Amino acid sequence: MTESILLLPLLLIVLGLPVVFLLRRMGLTNPKAGWLLSTFPLAAFFILLYAYTLLPHGKPLFFRLPWIPSLGLNFSLYLDGLAALFGLIITGIGALVVLYTGYYFDDAHPTRPTSGETHKSSLEVRFFAYILLFMLAMLGVVLAGDFITMFIFWEGTSISSFLLIGYKYKDEAARKGAFKSLFITGGGGIALLAGCLFVIHLTGSADWNTVIAGRELLTNSPLYPAFFTLIVFGAFTKSAQFPAHIWLPEAMSAPTPASAFLHSATMVKAGIYLLARLNPALGGTDLWFWVLSGFGLITMLAGAYLGSKQNDLKPLLAYSTVSQLGVLVALIAQQSEIAFKALVISILAHALYKSALFMAAGIIDHETGTRDLRQLGGLRKQMPILFAITSIAALSMAGLPPLFGFLAKETLLASATHPGLPPIIDSLFPLTTVLAGALILFQAAILVWGVFLAPPADPKHPPHGHDPRPGFWLPPAIPALLSLLIGITPIEPAFLANFLADSAKAAYGAKVKVSLALWTGINVPLLLSIVAVSLGAALFWQRNRLRAALMTFLPDLTVNRLYDWTLRGLDWLAKTATHLQGGQVRVYLRVIAISAVSLYLLLGGFPPLSLLPSPQWNLHGLNGLRAFSLVIMAVAALSTIFLRRDLFSVLALGVVGLSVAVWMALEPAPDVALVQVVVDILTTVILILGLNAIPRKQRDRANELLHSRRGMTRDWFVAGIFGLAVALTTFTALELRPRESLVSPYYAENAKPMTGAKDIVGAIVVDFRGSDTLIEIMVFGMAGVAIYTLFHFGARKPGEASTQETLQTLPARMPRGIYALPTSPLLHTLAYVMLPLAFLLGATHMMYGHDQPGDGFTAGVIISLAIAMWYIVFGYQETRRKLTWLNRNNLVATGLTLALLNALLGVALGEGFFAPVNYGDRLSLPLPPGFSLSSAFLFEVAICLTVMGAATLMIDNLGRIREDENA
Amino acid sequence: MTSYWLLPPLLLPLAGVPLTLALRKYPRSQQIAALLVMFAALLSTLTLLRQVLRHTALTLQLGAWPFPFGISLTADLPGTFMLTMSHLVLMAGFLYAAGSTEKVTRYPTFYTLFFALAAGLSGAFLTGDLFNLFVFAEIIVISGAALTANADEPAGVEAAYKYFYISTLAAMFFLLGVGALYAAYGTLNLADLARQIASTPLSPLALAGLAFLAVTFFIKSAAVPFHFWQPDFHAAAPTAISAMLSSLVVKVGVYGFLRLTTLLFPTVSLLKTLLVLVGIAGVVYGGFGAAGTHNAKRMLAYSTLAQIGFILVGLGWGTPFSIAAALVFAFNHALIKAAMLMLAGAMASRAAVKSASFSVVVGVGKYHPFAGILFLLGGMALAGIPPLNGFVSKFLIFWSGLDSANYLSLAVLGLASILTVTYVIRAFMRIWFETNPEAKPKAGDSLLAPALLIALSLVLGIWADPLIVLAQTSAQWLNDPQNYIRWVIGSG
């Protein structure tokens, strides 16, 4: 179980997170919290070191937990030399950075950082939490044992880096920088995920061992260019390769501890780690070599060049990081032993000196209040300790002996002059390296010179500052000192050399020999190094002229414009997309109509033309009445379009419905005809009431628009293409459908014996397909409730009185009809008589509906229409006063409850849900002939109640508005 | 009698309709009753899921009529999967409504209409009958429109009108489709239809029916270019409801396609191609729309267009793997989108003027860091960033696309994914990072429901296997329509 030790470092960092919040409760100061929290990564560092010593010879540790077994995916951890190198850098520098953070945010100190916001005296919980979160993600990336685990942590670094860069979120630059980094690295992440999936798809497994073993398969796959591009794109965006590097300088708006950690030592190296990790699996191809060399060299040069133009310490360091990342990518491209030796040495050396420099820059900022070279200078005497630290680190960055950086540069030059290099690269590589080396040396020099040695740039306002407390300078001092110690130690540290050799082996795929001796004799690399140093010194000598020239004449080479254009392009497309959504239903309708009909034609096609010649015009059933109703129907339908007043259109629509009813009655389908008649009348009444609820002006305007030339054309078009689709379907249906449906004969045969219904329509509605009916009456009920809610609550203006209040305040008055028109006593009598008659009719419908035309629905509508008549004759208030028993909502509730209970009763009686049960027979009740007390009857009652409730809700609420206006 | 397990998930929401209507004068008891009934419905759904996993599909012939003459309720795994998703999110919706400050949630009929919506959703995923599906779709439309028309948002009525208008159009298409299939095969039962369609060569009438149904489901699932009602509608709806509409109601259309492509018309490859094309249109248009709008809720509504696009593409690829991926995507999206809309609504309720417009909610997050964490997590889930469930959805879709060698459509999906990151992070930064002097500390809608949903998203992101197994098993069931037919027939 030694593998499970790999979980420990991650768990330790996770453990640190709740501790952060605990510390706030305890009211600890930032520096103390820093000391305390840094023990977590420190412990992780030692555990990793210990775990590394446990590695059996040449064999990595591999820990796995099944994560998604159904897809064969694991959560796995993996430790070999390469992972250990990165893991130790992350936890080691991480511990220092956490300690440093505590002092960076220390308020007890007299001077405050001015570039940031003023800090509250409370603990910077957020920052500590983010940095630990980031550390967890980063450690996960390098310790992951497979693509998916790695990717999960990879995205974690993007998100936590977003949070860290945007830490000072009130600052717009911080927000922009945070978004930019997430946009670019997030985009890379998506590419990387796709690339990973390609590899998993090909090798059948995500873990490193299998992937590396699948090298032949992968490099020979025709898909190689695709997933190579995707993965490399992901790595390049993360590791800030030109032209994706643009996010890195802007990420410098993060607080300095974050920059020191993320943007120099760790996160930007995630891409490097990935490429190094995959080199044995994907490397060695021409594509790999040329793409990595090309981008690496360009980035190396671009970073070095751009860094030389900076005045702000942090961007200067950021660009030199970009340059260094280019170096690393170019090294991975080479397939030589020396290149991988250079790779591991450079990674370590860079992590040491760059983190020291960043932290030192943070201290300078913290103490003097500025990081601008144009305001600094002469700090050597005020800050001797910091001067020493910065000088050592800068010398290492410049690649001067006796520092570790010198060794890194020597090996780099050695691999740049490796005899195995192909033409073009064999001259470009050394040339670029020398040039970039000179520029980097120049940067290191102006950094030290500008801050410490030169007289203050602005003599009137010389910077003030002094060395901070030891806890603050210790974090940069340690890596700086290490850079020095590794360089000058007389005895080669064998452990380190072997360790680096082991790391390089993992990336190279074969054994690599690493020695840490600085002096290797006079050879080409040394000569080139001397050239680079002399060139750098010359540049430094001419620094003022050079920098002036750089700033004025040479381009910024930033591809920020590309990024801006991309974003602007996206925004433009986004605007366009939202503009397509103009808000007019008539436009929507047209688009949907065209799409729907073309989809219809595409999928269904025109009916086969062979059907056309043989329509059998069956005219013998066309008698006078049918022909008459047909003509009425057509005329009325056309009138709905041509009549200019909406009220008349509605009436014409009613006529259409009635003539359909005539057809039904003649078919003969008296049941359907009856329902059609009552529904048609109810619809017309509701529509007319609804029209009255719309202000006159709006109705006139709508009429005008509808009957304009454009409106008519539009409507003809929409109606025409829909009509076409419907006509085609009807035609096909008439020609092709089987004459007998499957279920109809069954219904006809079984309606009477099984449901007790003589006609099959009733049986289908109430019995065979009763649950459709249940839901449909619920739809109707909800429509009523919806209208009620809208008029009582939703559409009520603020301050408007509720119905109840209005009713109470109005004086009793003589019955007046709708619109407050006087109505005749004859009508009153009629209304009085109609209501009980309607109830009677409704009751018979329900009782005998199963045998005769008519059902609960008809009953409900008939009663509602009688009530509607009261509204017309007596007026709104009067009807409400008179019909106090009419509680509309309760009717709906009762009806629905009854329907559900009735259906459930079948279950209780063992007949099944919604099954027909004849209670009359069961209880042997004496019932009048022709009436049976069955579940069907109860259901009819339920339907009647619901419909009554809903219909009167609509009538009541729609009828109200207009009257209030008139009152 | 195990098949009776089918009933409670449907009957409880149905019963909630008259129950809450009867309790309309007692707001407190109405609210408690509503929460209890919905919770019971959720529990019964989980029990049903267990039963289905234990016994294969359950079928209940309503009225005990022999197959295919009555209506069958059928709970196979895919349907139960969708049902579970619905009831989880509905429960959250009820919770959110209970803690909401919106006036509409205090209207006496709010829960009645909400239960009608819940009943419609439950029925749609449980029914085995095409016409029955139609009536359930109707109740979803009427209740959704009613709730939105009553929204505090003044635009609610207009949005509801548009939705109702276009949904009526969809209903007409639905009826035409049902009619055409009934004319051709004389039956409405899905299993019976599937059996008959498979046994004879496709007639032009069947294809016409398919076309009408496809149009219907495109409108219902808000697929581009049938989506026009959606951004207005989902943005204007009361927050608790808009969370349901954008996460669940559109899935009814998706579910329709699930049945069309696997059960009824598995041989029509043109339909699958169409799904891929329409899905991609949605992914692109929805992504850009979301990036271009100025309102947080509207942004999330547009984002639904894109996410539905992902699901349709998965269905269109049509391999068991891609269907499983689409199912996982649908499930996860429901949780995420509901949570995000709730968070957007909750922030709007805390703004100086109640509005989700970015110009109003900008900087409101200052006093609500917890909501910020939730929103960021939800946003990561939406953008498919681990360790949230959205990542699992995204990588399954990607992987299944690779597996079926659909590189071109995959490339578009990949490119469009960056849009999600863009708009989600921009919204986050506007609400939580930017400063606004007008933002004052203010109490608003409770964050309990979105917090629960995000927690579930996190759990499903880390412990992803069960959901994937469910989806894979569902996809296997879908892949074998004969099985479905046998179950339904066997029970009749």
Tokens of A420: 């195995």
Q: Of B201, B24, B207, B231, which Cα lies nearest the Cα of B107?
A: B24
Cβ pair A588:B166 closer than 8 A: yes
pLDDT, tens only, A557-567: 667 888 888 88
Which residue of chain A is at minimal alpha-carbon distance from B120?
Answer: A775
Tokens of B396: 């399954």
CB contacts, 8 Å: B120 with chain A: 775
For residue A597, tell me if it sits in a domain: no
Any B CB within 8 A of A605 CB: yes
The Cα–Cα gap between B450 and B95 comes to: 9
Q: Which of A401-410, A741-750, B362-371, B460-469 has the lowest mean pLDDT?
A: A741-750
Cβ pair B109:A911 closer than 8 A: no
Same domain, A785 and A843: yes
Q: Of B337, B331, B362, B335, which Cα lies nearest the Cα of B347?
A: B362
Same domain, A572 and A651: no
Which residue of chain A is at minimal alpha-carbon distance from B298?
Answer: A578
CB contacts, 8 Å: A170 with chain B: 433, 435
Chain A nearest-CA distance from B471, in A, is: 11
The Cα–Cα gap between B369 and B348 comes to: 15
pTM above 0.90, yes or no: yes
Which residue of chain B is at minimal alpha-carbon distance from A903?
Answer: B63
CA B162 to each of CA A151, A584, A646, A654, B168: distance values in angstroms, whole numbers, following the listed order: 44, 9, 20, 24, 10
Cβ pair A778:B139 closer than 8 A: yes
pLDDT, tens only, A292-304: 999 999 999 999 9
The Cα–Cα gap between A460 and A463 comes to: 10
Of B108, B186, B292, which is closest to A742 when you measure between CB atoms?
B186
Q: A805 pLDDT band (50/70/90 cuts)?
A: low
> Which of A151, A771, A887, A888 to mutate to probe the B interface, most B CBs <10 Å?
A771
Cβ pair B107:A794 closer than 8 A: yes
Longest dimension (CA), chain A: 126
3-state secondary structure of B118: helix
Cβ atoms of A820 and A963 closer than 8 Å: yes
Cβ pair B180:A733 closer than 8 A: yes
Cβ atoms of B45 and B7 closer than 8 Å: no
CB contacts, 8 Å: B150 with chain A: 786, 789-790, 793-795
Among A644, A678, A705, the domain boundary falls at A705
Q: A609 pLDDT band (50/70/90 cuts)?
A: low
For residue A780, tell me if it sits in a domain: yes
Of B22, B271, B395, which is closest to A893 when you measure between CB atoms?
B22
Q: B56 pLDDT band (50/70/90 cuts)?
A: confident
Cβ pair B138:A775 closer than 8 A: yes
Of A591, A793, A896, which is closest to B107 when you measure between CB atoms?
A793
For residue A171, tell me if it sits in a domain: no
pLDDT, tens only, A131-182: 999 999 999 999 999 999 999 999 999 999 999 999 988 888 999 999 999 9
Segment 883-912 of chain A within 8 Å of chain B by CB? 889-890, 892-897, 900, 904, 906-907, 911-912
Residue A653 has a pLDDT of 93
Q: Higher pLDDT residue, A314 or A930?
A: A314
Q: Which residues touch A309 (CB under 8 Å, ≥6 apart)? A: A547, A550, A551, A554, A556
Residue A695 has a pLDDT of 83
Q: A110 pLDDT band (50/70/90 cuts)?
A: very low
pLDDT(B426) > 80: yes
Same domain, A430 and A542: yes
Residue A111 has a pLDDT of 44
Cβ pair B211:A599 closer than 8 A: yes
Any B CB within 8 A of A609 CB: no
For residue A189, tell me if it sits in a domain: no
For residue A637, tell me if it sits in a domain: yes
For residue A320, tell me if it sits in a domain: no
Cβ pairs bridging A and B (under 8 Å): 349
Chain B nearest-CA distance from A791, in A, is: 9
Give the β-pairing of B58-61 and A73-79.
Answer: unpaired
pLDDT, tens only, A3-35: 888 999 999 999 999 998 888 888 788 888 899
CB contacts, 8 Å: A582 with chain B: none
CB contacts, 8 Å: A156 with chain B: 386-387
pLDDT(B410) > 70: yes
pLDDT, tens only, B280-316: 999 999 999 999 999 999 999 999 999 999 999 999 9
Same domain, A575 and A629: no
Q: A799 pLDDT band (50/70/90 cuts)?
A: low
Chain A nearest-CA distance from B31, in A, is: 17
Any B CB within 8 A of A585 CB: yes
Among A527, A551, A580, the domain boundary falls at A580
Total domain count for chain B? 1
CB contacts, 8 Å: A726 with chain B: 176
Mean pLDDT of B47-64: 89
Cβ pair A778:B17 closer than 8 A: yes
Of B109, B188, B472, which is closest to A70 when you measure between CB atoms?
B472
pLDDT(A930) > 80: no
Any B CB within 8 A of A786 CB: yes
Of B64, B110, B139, which is closest to A782 when you measure between CB atoms?
B139
Mean pLDDT of B208-221: 95
Mean pLDDT of A211-224: 91
Residue A614 has a pLDDT of 56
Residue A728 has a pLDDT of 85
The three-point CA angle A91-A159-B248 to 5° equals 140
Mean pLDDT of A260-271: 86
φ/ψ of A602, rounded to 5, equals -65, -45
Total domain count for chain A? 3
Residue A737 has a pLDDT of 66
Cβ pair B211:A68 closer than 8 A: no
ipTM topping 0.90: yes
The three-point CA angle A671-A674-A675 to 5° equals 90
Any B CB within 8 A of A178 CB: yes
pLDDT, tens only, A860-918: 999 999 998 888 888 877 888 888 888 899 999 999 999 999 999 988 888 888 888 88
For residue A796, tell me if it sits in a domain: yes
Q: A610 pLDDT band (50/70/90 cuts)?
A: low
Specify which residues A63 forms β-bridges with.
A77
Percentage of residues of chain A with pLDDT beyond 90: 38
pLDDT, tens only, A685-696: 889 888 887 888
Chain A nearest-CA distance from B159, in A, is: 9
Mean pLDDT of A305-318: 88
Cβ pair B70:A768 closer than 8 A: yes
> Which of A769, A780, A787 to mutate to probe the B interface, most B CBs <10 Å?
A769
Chain A nearest-CA distance from B338, in A, is: 22
Q: Which long-range contacts (CB under 8 A, 24 or more apart) does A299-302 make?
A: A299/A240, A299/A241, A299/A242, A299/A245, A299/A323, A299/A325, A299/A326, A299/A329, A300/A324, A300/A326, A300/A327, A300/A330, A300/A432, A300/A433, A300/A436, A301/A326, A301/A432, A301/A435, A301/A436, A302/A242, A302/A245, A302/A326, A302/A557
3-state secondary structure of A566: helix
Any B CB within 8 A of A724 CB: no
Cβ pair A570:B142 closer than 8 A: no
Q: A120 pLDDT band (50/70/90 cuts)?
A: very low
pLDDT(A115) > 60: no
Average pLDDT over all residues of chain A: 86
> Which of B114, B422, B430 to mutate to probe the A interface, most A CBs <10 Å?
B422
Of A155, A599, A771, which is closest to B71 when you measure between CB atoms?
A771
Of A728, A741, A782, which is closest to B113 when you measure between CB atoms?
A782
Q: A927 pLDDT band (50/70/90 cuts)?
A: confident
Residue A616 has a pLDDT of 59
Domain enclosing residue A779, as ranges: 758-967
Same domain, A809 and A922: yes
CB contacts, 8 Å: B260 with chain A: none
Mean pLDDT of A918-930: 82
pLDDT, tens only, A508-558: 888 888 888 777 777 888 888 888 889 989 888 888 888 888 777 666 666
pLDDT(B492) > 80: no
Same domain, A672 and A777: no
Same domain, A563 and A697: no
The H helix count followed by the E strand count for chain B is: 21, 2
Q: Which of A69-73, A670-674, A946-950, B349-353 has the lowest mean pLDDT?
A: A670-674
The Cα–Cα gap between A354 and A89 comes to: 12
Residue A381 has a pLDDT of 84
Same domain, A856 and A781: yes
For residue A678, tell me if it sits in a domain: yes
Cβ pair B21:A889 closer than 8 A: yes
Same domain, A553 and A653: no
Mean pLDDT of A451-480: 85
Cβ atoms of A442 and A558 closer than 8 Å: no
Q: Which residues touch B392 (CB under 8 Å, ≥6 apart)? A: A68, B328, B332, B460, B461, B464, B467, B468
pLDDT(A225) > 80: yes
Cβ pair A603:B225 closer than 8 A: no
Any B CB within 8 A of A800 CB: no
Cβ pair B226:A182 closer than 8 A: no
Average pLDDT over all residues of chain B: 93
Same domain, A570 and A633: no
Domain enclosing residue B205, as ranges: 4-491
